[in-house]
Amino acid sequence: MRVIQFREALREAMSEEMRRDKNVFLMGEEVAEYNGAYKVSQGMLDEFGPDRVYDTPISELGFAGLGVGAAMNGLRPMIEFMTFNFSLVAIDQIINSAAKMLAMSGGAYSVPIVFRGPTGNAGQLGATHSSNFENWFANTPGLKVVVPSNPYDAKGLLKASVRDDDPVIFMESELMYSDKGEVPEGEYLLPIGVADIKRKGKDVTIVSFGKMMKVALEAAEELAKDGVEAEVIDLRTVRPIDYATVVESVKKTNRCVVVEEANPIAAISSEITYHLQRNAFDYLDAPVVRVNSMDIPLSYAPTYIEATIPNVKRTLDAVKDVMYKK
């Protein structure tokens, strides 16, 4: 199977859907003439032209609202935010318009729109460019929230998101765009709301999503050296969450660690932890342990970044905690 970059997988997904459906279009800052801030949309202006690949002013509120209106009238916009930190400017259109329109209109208007772009820490970009909003958007009825961890999942999930009749928040990472992975030549879609077991194991369950999957999988490799078999689950989507896959894994391993880049208050890891104590309490041999970023704005200094966000050492310490090992 061929190996391509994460950004190439996203580009293929968007291009294939635009070829398939003339109602699909791409809009955002620098997506056309500049080929995308991260070169995700490279070459798409040449193929589809300025009527379907639109550069916008620096006006997230404006072009998000334009996209919502277009979706209500039969089009399928893909709206790129240069970073989801900038989506705060457009959050009223996302939450009060896109997410609620189907309910408020009594089913008369669906909003088939995809808001996509990078989320979370991307190195030394400072606090205002390093936030995680997965749990924010996942707390909004009417939205679906997808956070892929590799090129294969990214392509299949983005294609499914474009075809979905509900608004989808599709969150990537600047630190993953050059990651490479196997992606088949033929068309495929992955269902939204279905987790994937990336590594089988019997001793402890590690749950994560997005770029934190790198931390989870590396920790599993280190644990294997000591004879500990970790089962690693990639949620892939955080609204809806595939609780069943997590519960079934914990019934087997009896222990769970959740790794998430967001701050700890009202996080996805909090929701997973609650669901396990509610639905798998009798199977737990230890309390669930969460590994989140520290509850502070992310610093610019690289040493502070390393100390703030989840890493392999903190994940290994959490596993030792649930296994009662020193």
DSSP, residue by residue, 45-101: HHHH-TTTEEE--S-HHHHHHHHHHHHHTT-EEEEE-S-GGGGGGGHHIIIIIITTH
CA–CA gap between residue 290 and residue 5 (Å, rounded): 30
DSSP, residue by residue, 203-219: SEEEEE-TTHHHHHHHH
CA–CA gap between residue 257 and residue 276 (Å, rounded): 11
Specify whether 221 is catalytic.
no
- Contact partners, residue 281, CB within 8 Å, separation at least 6: none
Active-site residue identified among 8, 12, 60, 261: 60
CA–CA gap between residue 37 and residue 186 (Å, rounded): 27
Classify 117 as helix, strand or coil: strand
Active-site residue identified among 8, 17, 129, 174: 129
Specify whether 129 is catalytic.
yes
Residue whose tokens read 């050059």:
178
Instruction: Catalogue the active-site residues.
Output: 60, 129
